[in-house]
């Protein structure tokens, strides 16, 4: 199972919706949490449909700020527990009847109001009986290494954030391919970067899912990067894995008649839309590439025997 999250900074913008669709197509996802959507909840039905998500709970923005949504694909069982302007709390069922608590969270940017957000997390914690995953734009950092450029954050605020995570028994999940998730270069002068977005997890989750990992997903329509977390992480490869897993398109395949025929047949089908055609091409070219490599290896072995 994979959880995709993004502070999208106005998902009502058509360009942002297009990029969201591309991100979701490129990354297998089961649950999607978006914050700072800046649109009314009624406007989200068509976005949910465009992203091909089955379930959806959207919280309206107030004027030109806030707003969030939790979406999940068909086949994923999610039960909403409670929600507010700054969080959506849910229970998610996975295989074998196991479940975990997932809370999407948006922290207060005003330091004097942060205690309200921390109190909300405390209330959720008091009702959690399962493993707990919190994904949020916390608007806070833990130490100086999580900020580059600009003025230093007050030590008291960093300590306060660390103390609340310790109180709630939540552990920070490091990203495997990047560090900073927010960039500010509005004045065109000095670049400021901070690690404001992250996943934090309870001890129960660490024990049950020791291979989980999170990754930064680069995008261009927001000053925040998206984050993807896989609950099963990078498990050791097993022989016989689906060959689509290792598929990487190479331009040289365009010279291969079999590959051209696969792509042409799929692309000429008028009954499928663009996203479905992309999925079908990946599904068909993956096994084709796998078989091609097998044939190449057999030829190499045969040549080696003849030479030997």
The backbone torsions φ and ψ at residue 61, rounded to the nearest 5 degrees and listed phi first, read -75, 165
Quote the domain boundaries for residue 213: 2-230
Position 58 scores a pLDDT of 95
Q: How far apart are CA 66 and CA 59, in angstroms?
A: 9
Residue 240: pLDDT band (50, 70, 90) is very low
Position 235 scores a pLDDT of 42
Report, as an integer, the average pLDDT of 205-209: 87
Whether 90 is in a domain gets the answer: yes
Tally of CB atoms within 10 A around 274: 10
Give the DSSP letter of residue 7.
Answer: E
Position 245 scores a pLDDT of 43
Whether 11 is in a domain gets the answer: yes
203 lies in the same domain as 82: yes
Position 247 scores a pLDDT of 52
* CB contact at 8 A, 221 and 19: yes
Report, as an integer, the average pLDDT of 155-174: 94
pLDDT at 188 over 80: no
Whether 238 is in a domain gets the answer: no
What is the three-class DSSP state of 234? coil
Cα dihedral sign, 139-215-171-3:
positive
82: CATH: 3.60.10.10
Whether 236 is in a domain gets the answer: no
Q: pLDDT tens digits for 119-141?
A: 999 999 999 999 999 998 999 99
Whether 24 is in a domain gets the answer: yes
Position 274 scores a pLDDT of 72
Report, as an integer, the average pLDDT of 291-303: 73
How high does pLDDT run on average in the chain?
Answer: 84
Residue 227: pLDDT band (50, 70, 90) is very high
Last residue of a domain, one of 198, 230, 262: 230
213 lies in the same domain as 250: no
146 lies in the same domain as 183: yes
Whether 235 is in a domain gets the answer: no
18 lies in the same domain as 100: yes
Position 101 scores a pLDDT of 97
Whether 115 is in a domain gets the answer: yes
190 lies in the same domain as 254: no
Q: Give every strand in the sheet of 147-148, ordered side by side.
A: 147-148, 192-194, 182-184
84 lies in the same domain as 209: yes
Q: How far apart are CA 304 and CA 88, in angstroms?
A: 61
154 lies in the same domain as 13: yes
Report, as an integer, the average pLDDT of 110-115: 88
Position 163 scores a pLDDT of 96
**Secondary structure E strands in 53-130:** 55-59, 68-72, 77-84, 87-93, 99-106
| Total number of domains in the chain | 2
225 lies in the same domain as 247: no
256 lies in the same domain as 222: no
Last residue of a domain, one of 208, 230, 252: 230
Task: List the single range of 4-13, 92-101, 110-119, 178-187 with lowest mean pLDDT.
Answer: 178-187
88 lies in the same domain as 160: yes
218 lies in the same domain as 270: no
pLDDT at 306 over 60: yes
Give the DSSP letter of residue 134.
Answer: E
Whether 212 is in a domain gets the answer: yes
Last residue of a domain, one of 180, 204, 230: 230
Q: pLDDT tens digits for 15-25?
A: 888 888 888 87
**Terminal-residue alpha carbon distance, the chain:** 48
Residues ≥6 apart with Cβ < 8 Å to 56: 44, 45, 48, 69, 70, 71, 72
What is the three-class DSSP state of 244? helix
10 lies in the same domain as 47: yes
């Amino acid at each position: 199972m994979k959880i995709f999250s993004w502070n999208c900074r106005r998902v009502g913008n058509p360009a942002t919706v297009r990029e969201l669709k591309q991100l979701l197509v490129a990354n297998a996802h089961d649950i999607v949490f978006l914050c700072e959507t800046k649109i009314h909840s009624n406007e989200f039905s068509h976005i949910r449909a465009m992203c091909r998500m089955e379930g959806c709970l959207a919280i309206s923005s107030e004027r030109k700020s806030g707003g969030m949504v939790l979406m999940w694909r068909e086949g994923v069982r999610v039960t909403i527990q409670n929600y507010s302007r700054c969080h959506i709390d849910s229970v998610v069922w996975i295989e074998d009847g196991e479940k975990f608590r997932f809370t999407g969270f948006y922290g207060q940017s005003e330091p004097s109001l942060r205690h309200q957000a921390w109190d909300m997390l405390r209330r959720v914690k008091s009702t959690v009986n399962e493993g707990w995953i919190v994904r949020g734009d916390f608007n806070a950092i833990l130490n100086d290494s999580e900020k580059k450029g600009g003025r230093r954050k007050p030590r008291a605020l960093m300590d306060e954030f660390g103390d609340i995570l310790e109180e709630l028994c939540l552990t920070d999940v490091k990203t495997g391919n990047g560090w900073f998730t927010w960039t500010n270069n509005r004045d065109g002068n000095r670049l400021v970067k901070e690690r404001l977005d992250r996943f934090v997890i309870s001890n129960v989750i660490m024990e049950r899912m020791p291979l989980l990992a999170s990754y930064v997903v680069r995008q261009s329509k927001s000053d925040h990067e998206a984050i993807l977390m896989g609950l099963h992480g990078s498990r050791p490869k097993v022989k016989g894995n689906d060959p689509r897993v290792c598929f990487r398109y190479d331009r040289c395949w365009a010279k291969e008649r079999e590959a051209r025929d696969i792509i042409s047949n799929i692309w000429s089908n008028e009954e499928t839309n663009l996203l479905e055609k992309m999925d079908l091409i990946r599904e068909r070219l993956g096994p084709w590439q796998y078989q091609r490599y097998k044939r190449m290896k057999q030829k190499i072995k045969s040549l080696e025997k003849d030479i030997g």
